[in-house]
Each structure stands twice: as C-alpha cells, then as structure tokens.
Amino acid sequence: MKKKQFCDYCLDYRNGKYEEKMIKENIDGIEIEYLERYYICDTCGNKLYGDLYDYNISIANEKLREKTGLITIKEIEEILEKYSIGKKPLSLVLGLGEITITRYLDGQNPTKDNSILLKNILNNPLLYEMFLIANKDKITSVAYKKSMGKTKQLELSNSNSKLYNISLYILKKEKEVDALSLQKLLYYICGFSKVFSNTENLITDNSESWIYGPVFREIYEAFSYYEYKNIDYNELVKDREYELSSEEKEYVDAIIDAFGFYSGAILREMTHMTDPWIESRRGLETDSFSNRVIDNESIEKYFKKVCKDYNIKEYKDIKKYSDDMFEKAKKKLI
Ligand SMILES: [Zn+2]
C-alpha cells in the first residue's frame, strides 16, 4: 500500500510504503512495547509517520496507561457499554466536569483518583448504581432509566436471581411481552407456585401493590426503559448461563399457556380482582401510589382457595381459572 505523505527529510510530498513493526520505547523511565505503524519514503528511505502520527501516540499512551495501572481508554469504553450510558452523562453521574470523560477518551490521562474511581465503577455495578441514584437529576430521565435497567440486569444476572431467570425464559419464548404483562405473568407464576409441591419455593421475592397491579420492583427497574414496547430478549444481559429445571419449565409453560395470550391491560384487570392485591391496597384510592409489600401468606391463601374453587389439580387446569377471570375482566373493561 503506497500513499503520498510529507517527508521531513526530503521536505516534500513523497510516496510512502506502509509498514508496521513491534517496537520498544522508554517513556519517563517506563518501558512499553507496541506495534508501530509508519511509511518508508520511496526517495530517501526514511521513516515517515504522516497520517499515522496520532494513531501511534494514542496506542503508546494506552500501553503506558496499562503499564502504570491507569484506567485505559478501552476500559472506559467498557464502562459506557456495560452500563449503557453516554460519555457526558457518565461524567455527570460520577460528579465530574461534563466533558471529563470525553477528554479521557480523546487521550488525556486521568488523574490518579479518577482512574481509581473509574476502575472501581467498571468492576462494581452496585457502586455504579449508588452514583447513578445520587445524581439522577443531573441526567435525562430516559438516560437514567436505560442505564438503571442495564445495571439491574447485571446485578440480577450476577446474583443468579430466579425471578430474572424466569423472566429471561418467558421473554425468549414469547416474543411479544411488555414490562406490564411480564409483571402479571410473574405474579401468577408466584401465586400458583405456592399451591403445587413441585414449585413451592420457586419464588421467594416479594411483589408490591402498585397502581397497575402487583410489581416485582427489581424486575420493574431492569425493564422499565422499554416502557410500553415489547422487551427485546436479545438486548438483555445474560452473563451467566441461566437454566430452569425441566420441572420448572413445565410449570412456567403452563402459566404462559393460561395467561400469556392476554394483553397487559386485560392482565392488569385480572390481577386487580385478586384478594392479595385488593387487601394490600386497602384504604387507598385506585390511583394512589403504593409500594406496600403484598403479603406472601395472603398470596398462598388466595391461590389455594382458587385451586379449591376451580378444582385445579394439575397445571393444565389453571386455564379454567384464567378463562373465567378473562370473562370477568372483559365485563369490567367494556
Ligand atoms: Zn524522503
């Protein structure tokens, strides 16, 4: 590959032949090694850097950062990717000047303190979440929700949360699930699981009685940036192999069969007719904010009663209940 470049020896533009070679360099007493890119002048045979000058500087600087333990540009890019945040919002979330991260990405070396902070952030989603919450008001709500979602997904995935794994299973299987319907499916999965001996301890997390029905808060935070859109399984954090046992899958499949067909609005009406939600919101207006925890005993009691009333003996019988509740919900909505 030949390209015209200015030659500092010939003092004119010359054809240069592209070459690259590993070189060692000593910068302030620190030895680094990197692949240098350059041209060889056709006329005088000297090395020319031309348009490769900036590239070499930045690669040498990146190696120097690695060697001295300063956070590298690559690692800062990893932070942006990992937490789905832009460079300006990241600066603001960390309480730095608005263009600090931009400067670091452009090649400026970070201060030692900021480098330590960024390295800790890279490896610790919980620490990042603390900064994110503390500086929530400094970034747009869209940026906040998106970044919080990714952070929660990381945390849930790292802790191998059963609730999250079930969510992933549902979202992989069913393409058209939004955040609202997912919450309702999880509520029924939690509810009926307390009746069957195989699934008794499937879900130990608590849901809360929000205006639009029962909500598992962490799952809400993980997906709320999708708002009313379907959640895209392919975009979600799946750092660990999540696996449900075949028994668990069989059970979750039965709930999807019984409830998965209905829209979020129908499912919301259906859950609004269940005692645990009604009891938990006692004394509240229909549009009153609430984060009251729905009592697990009340869930168990209600779903045991449902199974008795509808004569539900096996997973497939659950449909008797969902069909009936659908008819009731329809009447309420019309
Ligand atoms: Zn030359």
Average pLDDT over residues 174-198: 93
Q: How many angstroms does the Cα of residue 18 sit away from the middle of ligand 1?
A: 14
37: tokens are: 């890119």
DSSP structural state of residue 109:
P
231: tokens are: 């959640």
User: In this prediction, what percent of the chain has a pLDDT beyond 90?
Assistant: 74
- Reply yes or no on whether the pLDDT at 200 is more than 90: no
Q: What would the pLDDT profile of 171-183 be if each residue is shown by its tens digit?
A: 999 988 999 999 9
Q: How many angstroms does the Cα of residue 15 sit away from the middle of ligand 1?
A: 9
- Reply yes or no on whether the pLDDT at 61 is more than 90: no
Q: How many angstroms does the Cα of residue 226 sit away from the middle of ligand 1?
A: 58
What pLDDT was estimated at residue 241? 63
Q: How many angstroms does the Cα of residue 3 sit away from the middle of ligand 1?
A: 13
Contacts of 161 (CB under 8 A, 6+ apart): 205, 218
For the chain, what is the mean pLDDT? Answer: 92
Contacts of 138 (CB under 8 A, 6+ apart): 89, 92, 93
* E strand spans, the chain: 2-7, 12-27, 30-41, 47-48, 208-210, 213-215
Per-residue pLDDT band for 29 (boundaries 50, 70, 90) equals confident
> Could you write out the DSSP letters of every residue in 146-160?
HHHHHHHHHHHHHTT
Q: What would the pLDDT profile of 220-259 be if each residue is shown by its tens digit?
A: 999 999 999 999 999 999 866 677 889 999 999 999 999 9
SS3 225: helix
SS3 145: helix
143: tokens are: 């940026």
What pLDDT was estimated at residue 206? 93
Q: How many angstroms does the Cα of residue 47 sit away from the middle of ligand 1?
A: 8
Q: How many angstroms does the Cα of residue 252 sit away from the middle of ligand 1?
A: 72
Q: How many angstroms does the Cα of residue 9 sit away from the middle of ligand 1?
A: 5
Measured at the alpha carbon of residue 85, what is the angle toward residues 81 and 87, in degrees to the nearest 5? 95
Q: How many angstroms does the Cα of residue 6 sit away from the middle of ligand 1?
A: 8
Q: How many angstroms does the Cα of residue 40 sit away from the middle of ligand 1?
A: 8
Q: How many angstroms does the Cα of residue 2 sit away from the middle of ligand 1?
A: 14
**Residue position matching structure tokens 């919980």:** 126
Q: How many angstroms does the Cα of residue 12 sit away from the middle of ligand 1?
A: 8
Handedness of CA 82, 88, 89, 91 (dihedral sign): positive
The winner for highest mean pLDDT among 133-137, 266-270, 283-287 is 133-137
Reference 267, options 277, 252, 281, 253; nearest CA is 277
Q: What would the pLDDT profile of 97-135 be if each residue is shown by its tens digit?
A: 999 999 999 888 899 899 999 999 999 999 999 999 999
Write the CA distances from 305 to 12, 184, 198, 276, 321, integer angstroms. 91, 19, 18, 12, 11
**Residue position matching structure tokens 């900021």:** 114
Reference 75, options 36, 37, 112, 116; nearest CA is 116
State pTM to two decimals. Answer: 0.82
**Residue position matching structure tokens 């999540």:** 242
